[in-house]
Amino acid sequence: MKEIIDAMDHQNLEQVKKVTREAVQTIDSIDRQQFLGIHSLVELCQELELI
């Protein structure tokens, strides 16, 4: 996020777009990993008959 603000301070629109796109991709990747982790945890709990 700091990179986005720095790019905005320098009014470099293309850089702002690039850094924002990369940030969104990183957040999306983290979200997917968390979802898969939760899914695995639910499967494990079901296998152990905890839920």
Domain chopping of the chain, boundaries? 2-47
23 vs 5, more confident = 23
- The single-letter DSSP state of residue 51 is -
pTM more than 0.85:
no
CA distances from 34 to 4, 30, 38, 39 (A): 24, 6, 6, 8
| Closest residue by Cα to residue 3 from 26, 16, 27, 12 | 16
Average pLDDT, the chain: 89
| pLDDT level of residue 18 (50, 70, 90 thresholds) | confident
For residue 42, what are the CA distances in angstroms to 3, 14, 28, 31, 38?
A: 37, 42, 21, 16, 6
For the stretch 30-46, pLDDT in tens is: 999 999 999 999 999 99
